[in-house]
Amino acid sequence: MGKMLGVQYVLHGQVTSIVDNLRMDIRAVDVETSEIVSVMKKSDKTTELFSVVVDLADEFGQALDLVPPSQRPEVAPIPVAATIEFSRAVDY
């Protein structure tokens, strides 16, 4: 799927929430080789979910030497209907 989207890495992982705490375990996988190139974990209070996501995104960007969002070219938005149809096709 990553090659179809024209991406170099796919991030996947999990979020675990117990009472008021959360933990995110995320892996970056190279699309061409399927090699796990980076693994990061972060824990905090559940109220800090957004901060945890932003921090992990920043850390992955640095670790993978990605172009910062401010320097990336503009990309046309994907129509919502196309996204829904793609999701239905994947489920089929």
For the chain, what is the domain count? 1
The domain containing residue 61 runs over which residues? 2-91
Let me know: does 22 contact 50? Beta carbons within 8 Å: no
Tokens 């320097």 belong to 71
Q: Residue 71 sits in a domain of what CATH number?
A: 3.40.50.10070
Mean pLDDT computed over every residue of the chain: 86
**Cα of 59 vs its chain's centroid, Å:** 12
Band of residue 1 on the pLDDT scale cut at 50, 70, 90: low
What pLDDT does 42 receive?
A: 94
